[in-house]
């Protein structure tokens, strides 16, 4: 039994804050396997055309933006939270090979595989004077 109604005082304000805070976060897992970085990022609700991936200065920048401007004259919205969303995420990958990056988006999950640069095995020791 609810003693206090659901929309009591400031509930709407707190709901709006939480929705906006959560919408800008793209959760991801990053792991290394077979000398490659694997990034699995949850970004449901986007189309692959909405997603932009850029590699610059050893940073992998992932962003997505959608704007749903549907003209539905037959609908009278009481609350509308799904009309626009955007996020940006940057991940530093110092030894990534920028020429060997693959990305696939399926079922709301973005998978990115980035090969690592070959390590320079030549070492030079410097004499201290």
**pLDDT, tens digit, for every residue of 42-62?**
998 888 899 999 999 999 999
- pTM for the predicted model, two decimal places: 0.67
Residue 14 phi/psi, 5-degree rounding, is -65, -40
**CB-based contact 65:50 (threshold 8 Å):** yes
Q: What domains can be seen in the chain, in order of their start residue?
A: 26-68+78-116 (2.60.40.790)
Q: What is the pLDDT of residue 81?
A: 74
Look at residue 40 in the predicted model and tell me its pLDDT: 96
**At residue 92, does pLDDT exceed 80?**
yes
């Amino acid at each position: 039994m609810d003693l206090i109604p659901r929309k009591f005082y400031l509930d709407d304000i707190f709901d709006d804050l939480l929705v906006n805070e959560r919408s800008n976060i793209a959760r991801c897992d990053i792991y290394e396997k077979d000398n490659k970085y694997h990034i699995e990022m949850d970004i449901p609700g986007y189309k692959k055309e909405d997603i932009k991936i850029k590699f610059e200065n050893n940073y992998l920048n992932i962003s997505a933006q959608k704007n749903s401007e549907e003209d539905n004259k037959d609908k009278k919205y009481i609350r509308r939270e799904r009309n626009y969303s955007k996020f940006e995420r940057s991940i530093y990958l110092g030894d990534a090979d920028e020429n060997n990056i693959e990305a696939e988006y399926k079922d709301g999950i973005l998978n990115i595989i980035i090969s690592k640069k070959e390590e320079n095995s030549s070492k030079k020791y410097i004499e201290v004077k």
